[in-house]
């Protein structure tokens, strides 16, 4: 019994290394009451925060596909609530994880998984009078700013609790001087994947990141990551630099199709100018992520359209953009497979019967015998995918007269001499498209 108790005590005292699971898809934004559309602006900012946290890329919000999705933020939000905070009224939002990941895939942006390395932070503040270690419950503006920015970026941080073991196990001079051995020894009681040493004074921050477990700090040959930041945003830039480091190290780019893909055919595309004008209009739609050309044949072009919205929204948006007319196509008839004839083997010398045999009767009951039908084979038919069809009418636009704003209207033409005539825009010279061009996987972007 005594041995069992010692064994359990030994298991409890050994720290278990485990990554921290970060909630990537929730955000909170304080409403700016000075804006007319404060609620919509806050939802857009909340989605930006989630995209940066999930991708690990601060520039992700500048991606063209992401910009389109931000204008449709309501399709990504799953939960909304409000609460009062110190700065005013705040909105709390939850976003759909599958939709956000699909958006990152469509935009070819990286995904930083939610399982992330947890960092132990040894922070010393120098307020000119003295230097102090910042513990977990210390009221420190520097620590508050670190935690807020780490929450935005999804970087897990752990502060030492400051109990008797911490206070007696490490000194301020050990941290400020950057001595590895005492820092590594004091860190071993915490189950973390890295150690961050921060020395803050006035508006300057010097930091060193040891990307190892505490047990490996002293023996590792890997050079720690060190930097110095200054200014009012020094803490924010430090957290951003460390987050960028781990995101670049652990993020992945998932190559795949978007969650919504539809096949669209356009008829009456008579020349190259029609084609490029049509392509430009489609890519400008907020529901379209990208286009792939499937076929060019005669005056018809077929696209594979990767969507950011359901197909119904794309069709409505395409009809509103003008110069196209949706064509109702009849359903494709289903071709049943031809039944296979089974040859009948007759005995040698026996003639092929020309008349069906008479039914066999049971003489005792004078009733016709029942013949069991053969089992019926069920044929599974594959669904037929039919393209949404539009007729392109962009080339039917009439020539327009271009008139300078400084020129008088038509009503004044009779009293003004030497007026230049209106300039008529000539139609483009038709260019014959190739008869049949097959293409797969070719993506057109502007």
pLDDT along the chain (446 residues), means of 10: 42 50 94 90 96 95 94 93 92 94 90 93 92 94 95 96 94 94 95 96 93 90 92 95 94 66 89 88 79 87 83 80 80 60 60 57 51 52 68 64 42 39 45 48 43
Q: Are 308 and 68 in contact (CB under 8 A)?
A: yes
Q: Kindly state the helix (H) or strand (E) to which residue 13 belongs, with its residue range.
A: helix 2-13
CB neighbourhood size of 330 (10 A):
6
pLDDT of residue 252: 83
What residues does 313 pair with on adjacent strands? none
Identify the sign of the CA torsion 177, 182, 186, 187.
positive
Alpha-carbon distances, residue 122 vs 178, 197, 216 (angstroms): 10, 5, 17
pLDDT of residue 221: 86
Q: What is the bridge-based pairing of β-strands 260-267 and 388-392?
A: parallel
**Which residue reads 């500048």 in tokens?**
62
* Structure-token pair, residue 147: 């935690």
pLDDT of residue 111: 92
pLDDT of residue 441: 47
**Which residue reads 């503040």 in tokens?**
125
- 77 burial (CB, 10 Å; 0-12 / 13-18 / 19+) is middle
How far apart CA 197 and CA 177 sit, in angstroms, is: 10
CB contact set of 431 (below 8 Å; sequence gap of 6+):
271, 272, 273
CB contact set of 411 (below 8 Å; sequence gap of 6+):
none
CB contact set of 406 (below 8 Å; sequence gap of 6+):
none
What residues does 22 pair with on adjacent strands? none
How far apart CA 315 and CA 334 sit, in angstroms, is: 26
Distance of CA 200 to the CA centre of its chain: 37
pLDDT of residue 443: 46
How far apart CA 303 and CA 379 sit, in angstroms, is: 32
Q: What is the bridge-based pairing of β-strands 119-126 and 194-201?
A: parallel
How far apart CA 20 and CA 116 sit, in angstroms, is: 5
Taking alpha carbons only, the member of 68, 80, 87 closest to residue 39 is 80
How far apart CA 110 and CA 252 sit, in angstroms, is: 5
pLDDT of residue 1: 45
Q: Are 239 and 205 in contact (CB under 8 A)?
A: no
On whether the pTM is more than 0.85, the answer is: no
How far apart CA 238 and CA 150 sit, in angstroms, is: 10
pLDDT of residue 403: 45
């Amino acid at each position: 019994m005594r041995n069992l108790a010692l064994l359990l005590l030994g298991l409890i005292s050994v720290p278990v290394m485990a990554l921290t699971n970060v909630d990537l898809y929730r955000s909170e934004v304080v409403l700016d009451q000075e804006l007319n559309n404060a609620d919509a602006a806050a939802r857009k900012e909340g989605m930006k925060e989630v995209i940066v946290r999930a991708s690990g890329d601060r520039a992700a919000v500048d991606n063209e596909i992401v910009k389109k999705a931000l204008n449709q933020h309501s399709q990504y939000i799953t939960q909304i609530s409000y609460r009062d905070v110190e700065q005013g009224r705040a909105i709390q939002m939850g976003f759909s994880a599958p939709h956000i990941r699909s958006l990152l895939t469509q935009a070819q942006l990286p995904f930083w998984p939610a399982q992330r390395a947890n960092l132990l932070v040894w922070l010393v503040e120098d307020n000119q009078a003295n230097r102090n270690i910042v513990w977990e419950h210390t009221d420190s503006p520097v620590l508050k700013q670190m935690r807020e920015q780490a929450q935005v970026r999804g970087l897990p941080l752990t502060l030492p609790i400051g109990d008797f073991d911490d206070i007696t196990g490490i000194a301020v001079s050990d941290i400020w001087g950057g001595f590895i051995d005492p820092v590594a020894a004091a860190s071993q009681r915490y189950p973390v994947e890295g150690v961050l040493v921060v020395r803050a004074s006035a508006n300057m921050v010097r930091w060193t990141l040891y990307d190892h477990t505490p047990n490996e700090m002293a023996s590792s040959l890997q050079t720690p990551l060190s930097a110095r930041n200054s200014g009012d945003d020094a803490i924010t830039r430090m957290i951003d630099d460390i987050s960028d480091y781990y995101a670049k190290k652990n993020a992945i780019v998932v190559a795949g199709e978007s969650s919504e893909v539809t096949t669209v055919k356009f008829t009456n595309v008579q020349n190259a100018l029609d084609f490029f004008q049509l392509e430009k209009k489609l890519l400008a739609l907020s529901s379209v992520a990208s286009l792939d050309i499937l076929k060019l044949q005669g005056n018809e072009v077929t696209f594979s359209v990767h969507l950011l919205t359901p197909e119904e929204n794309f069709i409505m948006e395409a009809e509103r953009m003008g110069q196209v007319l949706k064509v109702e196509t009849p359903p494709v008839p289903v071709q049943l497979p031809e039944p296979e004839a089974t040859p009948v083997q007759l005995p040698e010398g026996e003639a092929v019967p020309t008349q069906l045999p008479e039914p066999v009767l049971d003489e005792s009951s004078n009733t016709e015998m029942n013949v069991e039908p053969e089992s019926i084979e069920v044929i599974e038919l594959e669904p037929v995918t039919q393209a949404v069809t539009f007729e392109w009418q962009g080339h039917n636009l009439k020539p327009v007269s271009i008139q300078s704003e400084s020129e008088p209207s038509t009503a004044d033409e009779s009293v003004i001499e030497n007026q230049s005539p209106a300039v008529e825009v000539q139609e483009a010279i038709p260019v014959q498209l190739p008869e049949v061009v097959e293409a797969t996987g070719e993506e057109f972007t502007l």
